[in-house]
Amino acid sequence: MKSDTQLRTDVLAELDWDPAIKAGTVGVTAKEGVVTLTGHLGSHAEKLAAERAAQRVQGVKALAVEITVKLPAGDERTDADIARAVEHALEWNVLVPNGKIKPMVEAGWVTLNGEVEWEYQGSAAENAVRRLMGVTGVSNLVKISPRVHAAEVEKKLREALARQAQRESDRIQISVDGSKVALRGSVHSFAESYAVQNAAWSVPGVTSVENDLVVLD
C-alpha cells in the first residue's frame, strides 16, 4: 500500500506526463488513498483529462475534484455562441439522434436534456460538446428510454432465431420485461447458446439479456 506522500508524488507525475494538462496549475493532496485535485484549468476538456490521469494511478481509492475552469483571455464565448456551437456539434455527430437532445447553456455550463433509446447516444452527445471552446462544464441529464414492446421484441427475436438458430428455436422460452430479455430452455452446444444470445442482443431496444439456456450433453 502506498503512503500518502508516494501517492501524491505519483499523481503529480501522471499529471505532468499527460500533454493535455497544464499540471503546474493543479494542486494535489492525498490522505488514506483519497486524492483531491484543486486549482484551475483553461477548459472543461483539460479538467476531464486531469480527472482521468489521477484515476489511472494505482492506489487511488477515491477522487475529489475541486478544480474550476477559468477560460484564458480570448477564449471566452457568450452563452449564445456556445449554444450555437453545441447545436452544430450535436447535429453533425452521426451517433446523436437528430432532435432528441435539447441543450441549455448558462455561464458556459452546458446541460443536456432529452430522451434516447441507447446509452451510447447520450454519451456521444456529452463527448461532442465537452471539448468545445468556452464550455466550463457539462451536465448530462439525458434519459435512456428504449421504445420497445414485449410482444414486438419477442416477435423480432423469434424471427431472428428462425434465421440464425432454427433447430433450437422450438425449445427456447423467451420472456420479455420492458427492454430486458430472459432466455430459458436447452440447446446442443455453447455455440448455439451464444447464437441465441446474440440474436436477442440484435433486437432493437434490448438493454439486457439473461441467458439461462442449458447445454445438453
User: Rounded to whole angstroms, what are the CA distances from 139 to 102, 123, 132, 175?
Assistant: 12, 11, 14, 36
Alpha helices in the chain (DSSP H): 4-17, 44-56, 79-92, 119-129, 150-164, 190-201
Q: Rounded to whole angstroms, how far apart are CA atoms 162 and 165?
A: 6
Torsion angle of alpha carbons 37, 41, 47, 50, nearest 10°?
-50
160 against 81, higher pLDDT: 81
What torsion do the CA atoms of 51, 54, 58, 64 make, to the nearest 10 degrees? -70
Round to whole Å and give the CA distance between 54 and 72.
Answer: 23
Burial of 163 (0-12, 13-18, 19+ CB in 10 A): exposed
DSSP line for 121-166: HHHHHHHHHTTSTT--EEEE--EE-----HHHHHHHHHHHHHHH-T
pLDDT per residue as tens digits for the range 18-70 = 998 986 789 999 999 899 999 999 889 999 999 999 999 998 988 999 999 98
Q: Tell me: the pLDDT tens digits for 88-143?
A: 999 999 999 999 999 999 999 999 999 988 878 989 999 999 989 999 999 999 98
pLDDT of amino acid 120: 86
Type of residue found at 12: L
Q: What is the pLDDT of residue 217?
A: 54
Q: How far is CA 118 from CA 124, 129, 162, 178, in A?
A: 10, 18, 26, 14
How confident is the model at residue 38, as a pLDDT?
95
What is the predicted pLDDT for the residue at 216? 75
Radius of gyration of the chain (CA): 24
Instruction: Please name every residue paired with 69 in a beta bridge, in sequence order, or none if there are none.
Output: 41
- pTM, full prediction: 0.60
pLDDT of res. 201: 79
Give residue 148's identity as a one-letter amino acid code: V
